[in-house]
Each structure stands twice: as C-alpha cells, then as structure tokens.
Structure 1
Amino acid sequence: MKNALFNFIIILGTFTGTTFAQDIPGLVASNYGGLYRATYNPAVLGGPKHKWQINIGALGGSINYRYFVFIGKNSLLYPLLAPHSTKELYGRSRTMGSLMHADPLFLVSEIRWPSASFSLGKYQGVAVQFRTRGFVQGKNMPEAIRNLYFKRLDTESTPATSNESWGDFDLVQQSFSDVSLSYGIQLLDLDAHKLRIGATVKRIFGARIGYLSGSASQFSIRPLAGSPESSELVISDLAYESGYSAPNQKLSIGNLFDADKYGTGWGYDLGVSYEFGSFWYSNTEKFDESPAYLFRLGASLTDIGSIRYRTSESRVITGRQPESVIGQKELETISDKGPEGFMTLFPAETSAVFGRDVKLPQAIHLEADVQLVKGFFLNMSQTKRYGNSNRSLDIYQPESFTITPRFEDEDSDFAFPVSFIKGNKRPSFGAVGHFGPVFLGFSNLNGLIKKSGARGSLVYLGFSAWKLNRRQNRD
C-alpha cells in the first residue's frame, strides 16, 4: 500500500501543470474549510463536517511591502473602489502588489459578506454566499513603465530611458458582486470509499468595467529641462481605445441590481470529491471527527459563465497620437479617474457605446490530498484557466502549481502553501493560520518584506462561527 501511494504521488506531480486559485490559501484544501472550500469545490457540502457554519466576514487582496509603509494611504480594495471613487486611488493602488513578477499584471481584491451553510441530515448540505470581487489586469506593461508608476515622475528615483520598444498593451479594471446557492450530496459512504458531488449557481450583479488598450512603437523617460528631479514620459506612435460600461459614480445599493447601470450575468460551479481508505479511523476517541482516508481526489469547474454589459451611460473612444507626453499630474489623473481621466487628456477620433459579454474567471481545479500521518496532509493542487479565450477583457486567474503541507483538526488549521506561479522565476512561500473563529493567510511572505520588484502577496483575514456534526448525532 505504501509503495502504491508514493507511486501515485510521483505520477500526479509529473502530470500536473502550473496554476493559481484566487481563494483563501490553505483553507480551500481543509476538510474543515466548509464555506471557504465550497467556493473552490462545492462537493464539500455533501456529508458536511459542519451542522451549520456562518462566515461573519472576510477581506482579502493582493498587497506588497508598501502596504505597511504608507499607513493611512493603503487599501486592499483599490479594484473595488475604482468604480465609485477618485480619492487617492493613485496612492492606494501603489500599495497593492501584482501576483505576477513580470508580465502580466494581476491585482485582486475580495469581500466575503455574511454567508451561511447548513447540513440537511448526514449526506446533504446547502450554502448561500455573498461576495464582491475586483480585478486589475495588465498585459505587456514594461518594467520601466511599472517602475515610474511606483517611483513617480517627480522624484530622482525614476531612471531615464531612451527609445525603448513597446508594442500592444492592455490595462483592464473590473469588479462585480454575486449571490450564490450551493448544494452538495454524498453518493457513496463505504469504509474505504466516499464519493461526493456538488453544484453552485450564482447571479452576477453590480458589474463595472473600465479599460485602456493600445499600441506604441517606442517610449522614453527624459528629465524635464530646468528640473532634474522631475521627468516626463514620451510615447511615440500611440494608438488607443479606452472605454467604460458606466461612469464613476457613488455607490448606491439599489442601482447595483439595475442592468441599465451595471452589468449582470449568471455563472455556475461543479465539483466532485473521492476519498479512498479508512486507515486512520479511531474507534476509541468518541469525538474524533478527523477524516480517515489515505488520499482524497477532487476536481471542479468554477465561475463558468459571463457578464453581459448593455448599460446606457457607457462610452468607448479611439484615437491616435504621433507623440504623447505624460507628466506626474497626468499620470495621477489617469490613475485616479481611470478611462474618464484618460479621455480628458487624449482626444477622441471616434466615440461609441460599450456593449460586450465578458467571461468570468473560468477555471478547472484538480487536487490530490494525501494523509501522511493522522491529521497531517500534503495537498497538491492545480488550477487551469478554462476555455481558450484570449480576449483582453475576459477575467482570468494566473496559473500555478501549489504544494501545501497542512495540519488540521476541528478547531484549527496550519498550512504552508508553496506556489509555483507561471511566469515567476521563484516560488511563493505562504502561511495560513486558522485559530477557532479567526483565520489569517498569506500566499507569499517574501512579497511583503522585499522592496525590490513589484510582486505581492494574497492576504486574507476573516471570522466565522460553526457547530460540528458529531458522530453520535449522525449515527
């Protein structure tokens, strides 16, 4: 049995690709993850560990070391604030860290509002969840451009460059909320074999998109005459398209459900989970609820669906400039006001409305969870982008392969995910602690302390309450 188990691990590691899931690090693998695992694989609701569980609230996002330096001007919520505010967005966004070391740029924020799950007897469970998510994605943003954004153009920290080639580029901000209903059922309950399936349907509302796409032949960063501490960005042969589905406006809860003002859509998740073995079963510990399997296999599809934008106040412009000059003031205008700020600085040759369908961050997840010692697990997970769409406006997840050693029991979890993100030269070393009702997790500790580079860390903080399904109650 041991030889077969180790062979299985080796084979799995050989054929897994590289992916990264936008979920709470560590808790998505835990047998006690409950609601948080259900967003990754709804099959966890079949034969649930919890009689009921309530997510009081959770907040997450990608940040870098600057988050702890610029106290008072930091924000996990920059991608969520962009549709509703222009206040200090330039400063706030500079404290967020891309999960990608180089190209593409990827920032994310998430709020998990109060949600709940309930067991329906021994083998079934349901969950209702509310989430708000925000993304900033950038393609082909040169290192010098990213550096001047962080270092500013009015300091001596931005080095001069001359006639650097560029090419096509994209920068997209999207945010949306969803309410979801999940159901899971356990179809097989034998000593050595357990099979669970689950599904989620979600309604998307309050969606807003703003973007800038274009191409440039070259760019330069040159000192300003008579002001050596300040510089300006010069872009040659700039062709651009900029648009938004709705103008920046203050948040109104009632308007979020209006398809004339915000995008709407539908999505669904599907999941299956199989457990093999009962080697770690204990007959002597009456309240021992720990799983007894040797290994658990899981597969799921998440966020299959799209957002439909047919709003009345949308706008798209196109234009071309043989040479464009951007200073620090213009840089902040574009950062704070997004496409609307860009449109005030650059003329429009054509103007139209925005009406498109944008895919959700569709992904396929595969995982193997091996129990090496009772209560100690080694999880290997893969999350690939689902579908072949290369459209710049579609939301996606960076790809990585994650190995997570984990200790868990019914009251606490300790996990140390190691993520190999596609495009990054070095792995990300994370840590997750779940202590009773409180959990705190990081996907890349090095990104929080290292000043060089722009790579950040996904961080989560949340609170939950629950009641377990005890064995004597189930029997």
Structure 2
Amino acid sequence: MKIFKSLFLLLSVLLFNESFSQSYIGYNADNYSGIHGVTHNPSNIFGSNFKTDVNLISVSGFTGSDYFGINFSSILSGNFDVDEDSERFVSDKNNFFLNTDILGPSFMFNINKKSSIGIITRARVFFNLNNINGELFEAIEDDFESDSNVAFGSQNLNGTIHAWTEIGIAYGRLLMDKQNHILKGGVTLKYLQGAGALFTNSPGLTGQYNNVTETLTTQGELNYGTTEDFDSDDLGFDNLTAGFGLDLGFTYQWHPNREDDSTPIYKDHYKLKAGIAITDIGSIKYKNAERTTYNMNNTVDASSFDDLEEFLDDNYNNTDVIEDTKIQLPTALHLLVDYRLAKKWLVSAQANLSLVKKENDLASSIINTVTIAPRLETKWFSFYTPLSFRQYGDFAFGGGFRLGPLSVGSGSIFSNLLSDSSKTTDVFFGLKVPIYRK
C-alpha cells in the first residue's frame, strides 16, 4: 500500500527540478509531422507527404497547476527560490496535472493508392490531482508546522497517477475522392500494458489545525488505493497488465484548384482542412488492487506528522478492500481547422477537450486547450508559433521548428520567459527518418 503523500511529492519533484512534461503542441498540425500527427488523428496516416516516416525517439511533456505561478526565467538562470520566484493562488479547488509522452520506434507507409498503415509504440505517464483545498495542500507540504491556525475544506477531491505502454496498429483509408472534396478516415487499435496506478478521492473533507495546541481536527472520509506492487516513486515496467484502446478520426480536405480526381492529393495543396478525432478510448483492468477507506472524524496530535500513510494509520480507523479495478485512459476529443493563406503559409485552430468526468478518480485526463498556430511549412523546414488558451486561466505563447529529421519546440516557451507567474509549461523533442514522396 503506497502513501497518499506521494501524489504531492511527485508533483514537487517535477515542478522544482525542471522536469517539464498535450503533446507536440504546434508540430502535430504540420503536414510533415508524419507519425506524430497520427497520434492525434489516425486519419492523418493517409495522403501524407511521405513514402515512409520512421520515428526514432520523441519526447513530449506538459505540466502545470492553478496553484503555482512560477518565474521560469529564474529557473533558467540557476537562481530559483521557491518562496521568492513563485506565486501561490490558493483556492478551495486547486488542480495539478502532468503528462509525459515518449514516442518510441514507430513507422508508417502506404499500402496502395487508397490506404496506409503504421505501427506506433509509446510510453506514457499521467498525473492528475483535482479539487484539493490549497490550504490543505500547504499544510501537508509543511508537515503541519504552520505558525498560524489553518482551516480547510475540500469537496470531490480526487487524484490519479497512471503509467502504461502501448503498441498501436494505425490504418487510414480514402473514403471519398471527388475533384475538390476529399474525405479520409482512420483507426488505431492499441494493445496496452499497464505499469500500475495510484488513485485517491474524498467526497468531503474539512478540518482545522490549531497551531497553539498542535492539534488537527478533521471530519469526512478519505479513500486511496494502488494497483498491486505499484510504486509512484520508482515506476517500473517489468510487471505489466494488459488492456486495449482505440483512436478514431476523420479528415475533410477542400482542394478548389485540383484538376481532376486522378491527381494525388499530396500533389495538390488543399485550401482548407478540418479534422475530428476521439483518442484513448479504453481502459486497463488491474487485479488485486488495494483500496483503503479512512474515517476522518477525529482530533489528533499533529506534532508527530511526518509520513502521511503512517499518520493516517496511527490516528484514524480504516478498512481495506482488495478488488479488481479499471483505470480509464485519458479519452479526449480533438478538433482541427487548418487554412492555407498562401502556398507555404498556413494557420491552424485546434481544440483538445477532455471527455473524462473530472470527479473520476479511476481515470487520467488532459486539460482543455484551444490553440491557434500560424506556421511556415516546406518540405524540409517548418516554423510555427502556437498561442494557447488553457484550462485554469493560463495563456501560453510558444514556438518550434522542424528541420528535416529534427523537431524541437514548446507551446509556452515565450510566455514562460516573459511572465513572472506561469502556471503551465511544455516542451518536446523528436528525431526521425523521413522519406518524402517525389
């Protein structure tokens, strides 16, 4: 049984050690993104500009919180101080999130004039902590050593850490081919291998800490659980659990200048492209997961607080249940509109929307984002400057480029450098072997 505090420890390590971890923001709209675009919409695999696209290794990370606002320029200068270079936005419902996406050896190629196929390998880690009272977070972070009284109340508190790998078979096909109108569809069937999960929830938890008597009075219920042998401080992929997932997508393209329907669509630039996809449909079922329920109605001595699991076990009545548990994937809806301003200049608008209920502690989820990204796009080089509006009120402005086999970027690098209180950050890097069509 793992400690509930590991939720907080994991986030602290990630935020304060420059481990940035939404994926490939800006780059995934590029018509030369290849296999990366397939991860957001599997219909992108058909009609691409590649004979073959082989990904060697790519890493993308996205992290943030509406509790912390961090001065990233201080981090880059090496003089970062948590108290001086971070601003805290304490509320009754603070949220923390992180996802890391490692795209391993993957490839795609054309079967014939109407269909394409690909193999995708990935390793992914998601962290979500929703609706935690900021006063409670600070009290746990400080081991209940505050110099003043603290009162807190959290409703529908929940959190999840989940790590898994996946192998996907992507297939795309031309569904409609008229002179000026193209419709294509795609699907990715994924075999999942879960490394494990930690999950917690509380329908209601209130409390008061008295700094004079060093006592903590709480009311409510707290639940947390872990899959068998899961350790969030040392994620391992040697004891995996199988599951299945699905991505499904469609793309429409308008080609007003196409001479006839025999002209390959990759040879005729579209004026407008619109796509819709649902990704990460599915779940992983873990056997013998342990869930502990604590009755939090008690007044206890908080001066001995150190390890949260031990503190809970020593001071609160609890019951343990061993049961099979399903962890839902971060199911999401992706919408894209891409418009060609000139031959090499385009602008895209994307929406990435979570389809997971926020109160679900047995699921990972993305945060909702809307991104507008102007870009210069050529065969060997692309440059893009995404502007994003992100859930929890953060605005992000970034940049990135593709230079042949190399892609590097961040959807928030410029706003992180200019702002003294950034709530989100992301970065990606990729290396591939592109084999272009003639």
Q: TM-score range by the shorter chain?
A: 0.7 to 0.9
Bigger Cα displacement from structure 2, 390-399 vs 269-278: 390-399
Aligned pair partner of 1:276 in 238, 241, 254? 254
1:28 is aligned to 2:28: yes
1:123 is aligned to 2:117: no
Instruction: Answer yes or no: is the 8 Å Cα contact 1:44–1:184 preserved in 2.
Output: yes
Change (3 A) 1:147 1:387: closer
One-letter amino acid of the structure 2 residue matched with residue 195 of structure 1: L
Aligned pair partner of 2:272 in 295, 314, 319? 295
Query: Which residue in 2 is equivalent to 1:255?
Result: 239
Q: Secondary structure at the match of 1:293?
A: coil
Query: Which residue in 1 is equivalent to 2:192?
Result: 204
Aligned pair partner of 1:323 in 299, 304, 328? 299
Superposition RMSD on alpha carbons, in Å?
3.6
Change (3 A) 1:33 1:218: same
Deviation at residue 224 of structure 1 after TM alignment: 8.3
Query: Which residue in 2 is equivalent to 1:441?
Result: 409
Q: Could you tell me how far apart the structure 1 residues matched to 2:191 and 2:412 are?
A: 32
Q: Could you tell me how far apart the structure 2 residues matched to 1:462 and 1:342 are?
A: 44
Change (3 A) 1:341 1:456: farther
Query: Which residue in 1 is equivalent to 2:17?
Result: none
1:456 is aligned to 2:433: no
Instruction: Answer yes or no: is the 8 Å Cα contact 2:290–2:323 preserved in 1.
Output: yes
Instruction: Answer yes or no: is the 8 Å Cα contact 2:292–2:320 preserved in 1.
Output: yes
Q: Secondary structure at the match of 1:38?
A: helix
Q: Could you tell me how far apart the structure 1 residues matched to 2:215 and 2:136 are?
A: 9
One-letter amino acid of the structure 2 residue matched with residue 458 of structure 1: D
Matches within 5 A, 1:386-401: 386=355, 390-401=359-370
Change (3 A) 1:457 1:389: closer
Query: Which residue in 1 is equivalent to 2:4?
Result: none
Deviation at residue 140 of structure 1 after TM alignment: 1.4
Q: Could you tell me how far apart the structure 1 residues matched to 2:358 and 2:152 are?
A: 30
Instruction: Answer yes or no: is the 8 Å Cα contact 2:57–2:431 preserved in 1.
Output: yes
Q: Could you tell me how far apart the structure 1 residues matched to 2:205 and 2:433 are?
A: 53
Q: Could you tell me how far apart the structure 2 residues matched to 1:115 and 1:68 are?
A: 35
Query: Which residue in 2 is equivalent to 1:3?
Result: none
Query: Which residue in 1 is equivalent to 2:164?
Result: 176
Specify every segment of 5 or more residues in structure 2 that has no aligned partner in the other structure, as ranges: 1-21, 65-69, 260-264
Q: Secondary structure at the match of 1:127?
A: strand
Deviation at residue 178 of structure 1 after TM alignment: 0.8
Deviation at residue 236 of structure 1 after TM alignment: 2.2
What TM-score, normalized by structure 1, do the two folds share?
A: 0.72
Q: Secondary structure at the match of 1:60?
A: strand
Instruction: Answer yes or no: is the 8 Å Cα contact 1:430–1:442 preserved in 2.
Output: yes
Matches within 5 A, 1:83-162: 103-146=94-137, 152=142, 160=148, 162=150
Q: Could you tell me how far apart the structure 2 residues matched to 1:146 and 1:124 are?
A: 52
Instruction: Answer yes or no: is the 8 Å Cα contact 1:166–1:218 preserved in 2.
Output: no
Q: Secondary structure at the match of 1:37?
A: helix
Deviation at residue 42 of structure 1 after TM alignment: 0.8
Query: Which residue in 1 is equivalent to 2:6?
Result: none
Change (3 A) 1:420 1:212: same
What TM-score, normalized by structure 2, do the two folds share?
A: 0.78
**Residue-pair matches, total:** 393
Q: Secondary structure at the match of 1:28?
A: helix
Specify every segment of 5 or more residues in structure 1 that has no aligned partner in the other structure, as ranges: 1-21, 74-90, 226-231, 257-261, 282-287, 335-339, 471-475
Change (3 A) 1:416 1:234: farther
One-letter amino acid of the structure 2 residue matched with residue 305 of structure 1: G
Instruction: Answer yes or no: is the 8 Å Cα contact 2:162–2:198 preserved in 1.
Output: yes
Query: Which residue in 2 is equivalent to 1:246?
Result: 228
Deviation at residue 37 of structure 1 after TM alignment: 0.4
Bigger Cα displacement from structure 2, 42-51 vs 185-194: 185-194
Q: Could you tell me how far apart the structure 1 residues matched to 2:312 and 2:163 are?
A: 21
Q: Could you tell me how far apart the structure 1 residues matched to 2:320 and 2:160 are?
A: 19
Q: Could you tell me how far apart the structure 2 residues matched to 1:452 and 1:147 are?
A: 18
Deviations 1:113-152 (A, max 9, x none): 11111222343211111111111111112334455677x5
Instruction: Answer yes or no: is the 8 Å Cα contact 1:29–1:379 preserved in 2.
Output: yes
Aligned pair partner of 1:428 in 373, 396, 411? 396
Deviations 1:250-294 (A, max 9, x none): 6665522xxxxx3x321111111111124499xxxxxx9675111
Deviation at residue 193 of structure 1 after TM alignment: 1.9
Deviation at residue 408 of structure 1 after TM alignment: 1.1
One-letter amino acid of the structure 1 residue matched with residue 226 of structure 2: Y
Change (3 A) 1:392 1:52: same
Query: Which residue in 2 is equivalent to 1:361?
Result: 330
One-letter amino acid of the structure 1 residue matched with residue 31 of structure 2: N
Query: Which residue in 2 is equivalent to 1:304?
Result: 281
Q: Could you tell me how far apart the structure 2 residues matched to 1:348 and 1:296 are?
A: 58
Q: Secondary structure at the match of 1:356?
A: strand
1:40 is aligned to 2:77: no
Deviation at residue 342 of structure 1 after TM alignment: 7.3
